[in-house]
């Protein structure tokens, strides 16, 4: 059994440790094993109880479950972990995948849209996905009803990636059972949650960031205002990826979200050539692969003073970590260590956009 994989899974399955905290711990301590050993002291310094780290046997059962499904684990910064996804601040530390791993090496575009999409929109999405696939693009979507399903169907022959909100072995919605099985055999399934996890409402925004993070751009085909598809588009924009939308009739509520995206600056898409022209060459920043590294250690006295300074600057209103670094005058590594201590003591809330607040 891979000890490093076991330790990384133990770390990310620990309560109160999400992808951002996991990454900060890895950068600080260099290995998951050393990070686990440091958790009790970090939580004590943050004046709270340390979270309970799962035992090795618990995550070994998860690893064995993925293997029984015919899947594999991919670790951030190692092997075939998706390079674009790896550039995200909150990239999943570990993914479980099943299917054709070679699809992760090809250029990809995400396609999302309404679950109750019109027949015309589904036909267009299926056709667009097929044309993009024949042009060498892998199509990424979320295995939902409507546009997602049409996008997968249109690109199944050329290459499609289905991102699951729950575990690798959980089918949602149930009517997509055959489609999910086809993608596992001829495309690729990707899941962040452990096997057996039933998707809950809180899981879908995490899934949406993986969809956007795997691709150089996201195309929206029919989306109501405040829909999950618009969340995916917003996340893609925040990642510096291309946001594209197919225009629709102003008389159809399902088109309002996409039309609003175009008003707000998204690229109007009418065919595959429009998508390919919009994607263009990848930005150099997307080519970087995240690497684990340990920051230079500081003394206990310096850390104590830094922790006090950072805590005094925090309050119930969320503020950016960069602003804390600026106002404190401390090195970023010391600020991040102080935030880690508060986080592991269950005294810190992390918000979108790299903001934090004191609980």
Query: Rounded to whole angstroms, how far apart are CA atoms 224 and 260?
Result: 10
pLDDT confidence of residue 269: 96
pLDDT confidence of residue 302: 67
62 in the Ramachandran plot: left (φ > 0), alpha (ψ -120 to 50) or beta? alpha
pLDDT confidence of residue 354: 83
- pLDDT tens sequence for the chain (359 residues): 689 999 999 999 999 899 999 999 999 999 999 999 999 999 999 999 999 999 999 999 999 999 999 999 999 999 999 999 999 999 999 999 999 999 999 999 999 999 999 999 999 999 999 999 999 999 999 999 999 999 999 999 999 999 999 999 999 999 999 999 999 999 999 999 999 999 999 999 999 999 999 999 999 999 988 888 999 999 999 999 999 999 999 999 999 999 999 999 999 999 999 999 999 865 444 444 434 444 445 555 667 888 889 999 999 999 999 999 999 999 998 898 899 999 999 999 988 778 999 98
pLDDT confidence of residue 29: 93
pLDDT confidence of residue 291: 41
């Amino acid at each position: 059994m891979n000890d490093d994989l076991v330790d990384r899974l133990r770390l990310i399955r620990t309560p109160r440790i999400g992808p951002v905290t996991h990454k900060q711990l890895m950068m600080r301590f260099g290995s998951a094993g050393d990070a686990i050993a440091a958790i009790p002291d970090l939580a004590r310094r943050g004046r709270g109880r340390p979270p309970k780290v799962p035992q090795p046997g618990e995550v070994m059962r998860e690893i064995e479950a993925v293997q029984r499904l015919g899947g594999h684990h991919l670790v951030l910064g190692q092997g075939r972990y998706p390079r674009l996804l790896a550039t995200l601040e909150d990239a999943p530390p570990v993914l479980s995948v099943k299917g054709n791993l070679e699809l992760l090496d090809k250029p990809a575009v995400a396609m999302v849209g309404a679950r109750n999409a019109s027949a015309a929109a589904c036909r267009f999405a299926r056709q667009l996905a097929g044309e993009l696939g024949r042009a060498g693009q892998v199509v990424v979507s979320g295995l939902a009803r409507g546009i997602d399903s049409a996008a997968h169907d249109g690109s199944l022959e050329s290459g499609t990636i289905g991102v699951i909100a729950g575990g690798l072995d959980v089918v949602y919605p149930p009517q997509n059972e055959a489609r999910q099985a086809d993608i596992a055999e001829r495309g690729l399934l990707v899941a962040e949650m452990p096997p057996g996890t039933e998707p809950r409402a809180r899981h879908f925004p995490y899934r949406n960031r993986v969809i956007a993070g795997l691709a150089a751009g996201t195309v929206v085909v029919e989306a109501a205002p405040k829909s999950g598809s618009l969340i995916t588009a917003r996340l893609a924009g925040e990642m510096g990826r291309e946001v594209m939308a197919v225009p629709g009739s102003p008389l159809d509520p399902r088109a309002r979200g996409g039309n609003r995206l175009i008003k707000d600056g998204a690229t109007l898409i009418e065919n595959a050539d429009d998508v390919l022209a919009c994607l263009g060459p990848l930005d150099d920043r997307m080519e970087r692969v995240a690497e684990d590294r340990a920051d230079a250690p500081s003394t206990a006295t310096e850390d104590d003073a830094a922790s006090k300074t950072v805590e005094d600057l925090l309050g119930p209103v969320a503020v950016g970590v960069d602003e804390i670094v600026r106002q404190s005058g401390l090195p970023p590594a010391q600020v991040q260590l102080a935030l880690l201590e508060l986080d592991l003591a269950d005294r810190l809330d992390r918000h979108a956009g790299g903001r934090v607040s004191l609980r």
